[in-house]
Amino acid sequence: MSNTSVHKGACFCGAVELTVTGEPVAMGYCHCDSCRAWSAGPVNAFTLLPPAAVRVTKGADKIGSYQKTEKSIRKWCKACGGHLLTEHPLWGVTDVYAAVIPDLPYKPAVHVNYASTVLRMKDGLPKQKDFPAEMGGSGTLLQE
Ligand SMILES: [Zn+2]
Ligand SMILES: [Zn+2]
């Protein structure tokens, strides 16, 4: 574990700071309706980490939380509205959005929920119709 790296992240205004430690479990893009509505963007670039790898180092009292479904607890900064992360308790991972941790090299490997896409991305990466089978999805791949 000598090369364990720590990467710093922050919200839009800087009131909330966090760190992520070690290597992400997975990185990629989610094209689902929920990510679109929450982010107000066409896709969510996700970085999945073990929850224990994510530490809020400043401004924990400024973090708002919203849980629409049992799958996702979404968190943001109440001072600036900037989004921070989504906890996925059923999967045992936390998505710290790639844009929140810019110094962690983003290496996307997969697209999920591509059946719902509004922005086709022809990058040669696998396009899961919903989720990989090991995450409880169909594992079906779609054309780009
Ligand atoms: Zn903020
Ligand atoms: Zn999504």
CB 50 within 8 A of CB 4: no
Q: What is the pLDDT of residues 21-77, one digit of tens each?
A: 999 999 999 999 999 999 999 999 999 999 999 999 999 999 999 999 999 999 999
**pLDDT band at residue 3, thresholds of 50, 70 and 90?**
low
Dist. CA 51–CA 85, nearest whole Å: 11
State the distance from the centre of ligand 1 to the C-alpha of 62, rounded, in angstroms: 8
Distance 63 CA to ligand 2 centre (A): 21
Q: In what order do the strands lie in the sheet with 63-69?
A: 63-69, 72-77, 83-88, 93-96, 44-49, 26-30, 110-112
> So what's the pLDDT on residue 26?
96
Q: Is 68 helix (H, G, I), strand (E, B) or coil?
A: strand
Closest ligand to the CA of 16: 1
**Ligand 1 center from residue 21 Cα (angstroms):** 21
pLDDT for the residue numbered 51: 97
pTM above 0.85, yes or no: yes
Ligand that comes closest to the CA of residue 18: 1
Closest by CA position to 101, among listed 38, 4, 23:
23
Compute the distance from residue 2 Cα to the ligand 2 centre, in Å.
34
Banded model confidence at residue 135, pLDDT cuts 50, 70, 90: confident
CA–CA distance, 144 with 123 (Å, rounded to integer): 8
Q: How far apart are CA 30 and CA 8, in angstroms?
A: 23
Per-residue pLDDT of 74-108, as tens digits, reads 999 999 999 999 999 999 999 999 999 999 999 99
Nearest to 80 by CA among 17, 7, 8: 17
Distance from residue 29's CA to the centre of ligand 2 (Å)? 8
Output the CA 56–ligand 2 centroid distance in Å. Answer: 23
Instruction: Give the distance between the most distant pair of CA atoms in the chain.
Output: 44
